[in-house]
Amino acid sequence: MKKLLSYTFLFSLFLFLVACSSRKALVSTGEDKQRTYPTTAVQKFAYGELYRQAGDFARALIEYEEAASIDSLSPVIYARIGEAYLALNRMTKARNAFLKSVELNPDQPGLFDMIALTLVMDGKMAEAEKIWLNLIENYPWYEDAWYNLSDFYFEQNDTAKGLDILQRLLKKNPDNTDVLGRIVDVLHQLGRYEASIPFLEKLISQIPDYSRFYQSLYKTYIELGREEEARQTLLRWREHVNPSPQVELLYADQLIRNGEWDKALDILYQGHAVWPGQWAFPHLLAIVYIEKEEPDSVRKYYNMALNEGSALPVAYRNYALWLADQDDIRTALDVILEGRDLHPDDQDLMYMEALLLDESDEPVKAIRVLENLRTLQPNNENVLQMLAALYDRTGQSARAEELYEILLAKNRENPLILNNYSYLLAEHNKDLSKAWNMIQKALSLEPENGAYLDTAAWILYRLGRYPEALNYINRALSVLPDDYEMLYHKAMILLSMNQEDEANELLQKSLKKNPDYKPARDQLEAMNHD
DSSP secondary structure string for all residues of 139-169: -TT-HHHHHHHHHHHHHTT-HHHHHHHHHHH
Residue-level pLDDT at 337:
97
Q: Collect the ranges in the chain with pLDDT lower than 50.
A: 1-24, 26-33
Residue 341's φ and ψ, nearest 5 degrees, are: -60, -40
Q: What are the helix (H) ranges across 326-362?
A: 329-342, 347-359
Q: For residue 96, what are the domain limits?
A: 1-123
| Residues 14, 96 within the same domain | yes
Question: CA of 114: how far to CAs of 26, 54, 131, 344, 509, in Å?
Answer: 10, 22, 10, 43, 78
| Residues 114, 228 within the same domain | no
User: How many Å apart are CA 109 and CA 22, to the nearest integer?
Assistant: 12
| Residues 301, 267 within the same domain | yes
User: How many Å apart are CA 317 and CA 50, to the nearest integer?
Assistant: 49
Domain boundary among 311, 327, 346: 311
| Residues 237, 249 within the same domain | no
Domain boundary among 205, 226, 242: 242
Residue-level pLDDT at 71:
83
| Residues 66, 47 within the same domain | yes
The answer to whether residue 282 sits within a structural domain is yes
Residue-level pLDDT at 6:
36
| Residues 84, 196 within the same domain | no
Domain boundary among 83, 103, 123: 123
Handedness of CA 412, 414, 415, 419 (dihedral sign): negative
Residue 525's φ and ψ, nearest 5 degrees, are: -65, -40
- For the chain, how long is the longest CA-to-CA vector? 117
Residue-level pLDDT at 210:
93
The domain total for the chain is 3
The answer to whether residue 328 sits within a structural domain is no
The answer to whether residue 235 sits within a structural domain is yes
Distance between alpha carbon 171 and the CA centroid of its chain, in Å? Answer: 35
| Residues 234, 272 within the same domain | no
User: How many Å apart are CA 229 and CA 218, to the nearest integer?
Assistant: 8
The answer to whether residue 344 sits within a structural domain is no
| Residues 255, 277 within the same domain | yes
User: How many Å apart are CA 109 and CA 130, to the nearest integer?
Assistant: 13
| Residues 1, 111 within the same domain | yes
The answer to whether residue 373 sits within a structural domain is no
pTM for the full predicted model: 0.70
| Residues 179, 259 within the same domain | no
The answer to whether residue 115 sits within a structural domain is yes
Give the single-character DSSP code of 24.
Answer: T
CATH code for the domain in which residue 306 is found: 1.25.40.10
| Residues 108, 44 within the same domain | yes
User: How many Å apart are CA 129 and CA 266, to the nearest integer?
Assistant: 57
Instruction: Answer whether 159's CB lies under 8 Å from 153's CB.
Output: yes
Instruction: Answer whether 75's CB lies under 8 Å from 26's CB.
Output: yes
- Summarised one tens digit per residue, pLDDT across range 496-519 is 999 999 999 999 999 999 999 999
| Residues 254, 234 within the same domain | no
Three-class HEC string of 478-528: HHCCCCHHHHHHHHHHHHHCCCHHHHHHHHHHHHHHCCCCHHHHHHHHHHH
